[in-house]
């Protein structure tokens, strides 16, 4: 029995392609692992607050010295971190907005990058060397992009401030086993986009097949 | 008489180093150009909302087809874009949060990347070629970072998802003349940080001196 955390980062609802692919992934996953527990974390439509000056002061105060007010300030962040610590598997759907993640997903990342909970300095004080505290987790990242060519050596590779960034930060928190499913070409529509959808679905198929070996049926 | 837009991106108030440097910049600027008009846009503490599904639908609907509700949805975005169009000079203070911009500043960037107002597709439909619509503007970016080495060829260059990203997006909107003032080492404090403050102040001095030539007095 695994614990699966689903983080939906799209501000869109039914029109979101990353959400649909994430759900396809989860449906297949649970079909093969019916006892797994799936927990959904809404980010894209969840209106998560930006971290504030008070939040920063509270997070960098040692837990034993925090006032009741500070603890309250960190309440949502603690809940989000608890979910990550709980999970064996993280599946995140994240569209590219203006070459980075949507501000809502950045707010999520700012909320979960917590000193002493998801990362620490190696020496115990600022030293530029980060040690991740999220252990033994695998992550699947479903990236949706309007344009194409953001993969390494692609013509837009230098503009990938989205999945490269997500991988960097989760890697720093200790999640180094990250596989990506990429959906691209959304803004072009038509056959170019249809082809990209098929490719993304095939990639999900391939990842699950590799993960569980027993997967024999096609996704649909 | 120039029009100067100051965008403060730090979630911190008085404790913000980027705010202090931005203000130093502005004080010097206006001392030499007393007739310039300065407009402040609060972003870091301004609690700007994340763009939503409705926002996206409204922004990508041609202006003449927008409903009253759509226009209202875009109200804040329109105001922020108007400020950018108004300005001759943009001075932005942006700290690095988790190797990128704070989510509040990302929300600002998502709000001002407006098709038909700050950028357009070259062919008039999605073609991957962006044409910036902000013309004849200069920008000064005050970047504050906890660590150091994020400049090109620095040991943390590959982790600069902050000023590299801001320059990319403003460049796409047509603001290509961007000079950076970098404050680093904040998390180390002590002499290392003091030295960095002096360096940043010297850089401001150098930029203004170059800009106005008449600047002879040191900053303080």
What CATH number should be reported for the domain holding residue B38?
3.40.50.360
Chain B residues contacting A, CB < 8 Å?
11-13, 15, 45, 47, 49-53, 55-56, 97-104, 106-107, 109-110, 113, 126, 128, 146-148, 156, 159, 161, 164-165, 168-169, 187-188
Predicted local confidence at residue B58, as pLDDT: 98
Both tokens of B82, joined, read 């108007």
Parent domain of A86: 3-212
Mean pLDDT of B13-21: 95
Of the candidates B11, B110, B128, which has its C-beta nearest A53's C-beta?
A: B11
Overall number of domains in chain A: 1
Is residue A87, in this structure, part of any structural domain at all? yes
Is residue A218, in this structure, part of any structural domain at all? no
Mean pLDDT of B173-202: 97
Q: Which residues of A touch B50 (CB under 8 A)?
A: 11, 47, 102-104, 107
CA-CA distance, A210 to A2, in Å (whole number)?
17
Chain A residues contacting B, CB < 8 Å?
11-13, 15, 45, 47, 49-53, 55-56, 97-104, 106-107, 109-110, 113, 126, 128, 146-148, 156, 159, 161, 164-165, 168-169, 187-188
State which residue of chain B sits closest to A13, comparing Cα positions.
B53
Q: In the 8-state DSSP scheme, what is residue A186?
A: G
State which residue of chain B sits closest to A109, comparing Cα positions.
B98
Is residue A220, in this structure, part of any structural domain at all? no
Closest among A159, A103, A151, A161 to B128, alpha carbons compared: A159
Q: What is the 3-state secondary structure (H, E, C) of chain B?
A: CCEEEEEECCCCCCCCHHHHHHHHHHHHHHHHCCCCEEEEEECCCCCCCCCCHHHHHHHCCCHHHCCHHHHHHCHHHHHHHHHHHHCCEEEEEEECECCECCHHHHHHHHHHCCECCCEEECCCCCCCCEEECCCCCEEEEEEECCCCCCCCCCCCHHHCCCHHHHHHHHHHCCCCEEEEEEECCHHHCHHHHHHHHHHHHHHHHHHHHHHHCCCCCCCC
State which residue of chain B sits closest to A148, comparing Cα positions.
B128
Is residue B34, in this structure, part of any structural domain at all? yes
Of the candidates B53, B100, B146, which has its C-beta nearest A106's C-beta?
A: B100
Measure in Å the smallest separation between the Cα of A159 and chain B Cα atoms. Answer: 8
State which residue of chain B sits closest to A44, comparing Cα positions.
B52
Predicted local confidence at residue A2, as pLDDT: 96
Judged against a pLDDT cut of 60, whether residue B218 lies above it is answered with: no
B188 with A51: Cβ contact below 8 A: no
pLDDT digits (tens, 9 = 90+) for B128-151: 999 999 999 999 999 999 999 999
Is residue A135, in this structure, part of any structural domain at all? yes
The mean pLDDT of chain B is 95
A53 with B45: Cβ contact below 8 A: yes
B128 with A147: Cβ contact below 8 A: yes
What's the number of CA atoms in the CB half-sphere (13 Å) around residue A135?
Answer: 3
Of the candidates B15, B50, B159, which has its C-beta nearest A102's C-beta?
A: B50
B12 with A56: Cβ contact below 8 A: yes
Is residue A219, in this structure, part of any structural domain at all? no
A106 with B109: Cβ contact below 8 A: no
Q: Is B180 left (phi over 0), alpha (psi -120 to 50) or beta?
A: beta
Is residue A217, in this structure, part of any structural domain at all? no
Predicted local confidence at residue B217, as pLDDT: 58
Whether the ipTM is more than 0.85: the answer is yes
pLDDT digits (tens, 9 = 90+) for B63-108: 999 999 999 999 999 999 999 999 999 999 999 999 999 999 999 9
Measure in Å the smallest separation between the Cα of B34 and chain A Cα atoms. Answer: 33
* Residue spans of chain A under pLDDT 70: 214-220
Predicted local confidence at residue B32, as pLDDT: 86
CA-CA distance, B111 to B30, in Å (whole number)?
28
B104 with A50: Cβ contact below 8 A: yes
B11 with A168: Cβ contact below 8 A: no
Predicted local confidence at residue B141, as pLDDT: 98
Is residue B218, in this structure, part of any structural domain at all? no
């Amino acid at each position: 029995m695994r614990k699966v955390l689903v983080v939906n980062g799209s501000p869109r609802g039914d029109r979101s392609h990353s959400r649909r692919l994430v759900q396809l992934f989860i449906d297949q996953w649970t079909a093969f692992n019916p006892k797994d527990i799936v927990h959904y974390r809404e980010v894209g439509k969840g209106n998560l607050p930006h971290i504030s000056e008070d939040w920063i002061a509270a997070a960098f105060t040692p837990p034993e010295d925090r006032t009741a007010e500070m603890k309250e300030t960190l309440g949502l962040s603690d809940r989000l971190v608890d979910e990550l610590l709980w999970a064996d598997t993280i599946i995140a759907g994240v569209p590219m907005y203006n070459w980075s993640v949507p501000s809502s997903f950045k707010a999520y990342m700012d909320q979960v990058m917590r000193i002493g909970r998801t990362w620490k300095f190696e020496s115990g004080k600022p030293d530029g060397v980060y040690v991740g505290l999220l252990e033994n987790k695998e992550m699947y990242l479903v990236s949706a992009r309007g344009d194409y060519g953001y993969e390494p050596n692609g013509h837009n590779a230098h503009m990938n401030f989205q999945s490269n960034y997500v991988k960097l930060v989760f890697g720093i928190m200790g999640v180094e086993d990250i596989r990506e499913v990429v959906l691209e070409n959304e803004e072009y529509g038509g056959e170019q986009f249809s082809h990209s959808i098929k490719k993304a679905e095939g990639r999900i198929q391939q990842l699950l097949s590799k993960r569980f070996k027993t997967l024999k049926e096609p996704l649909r």
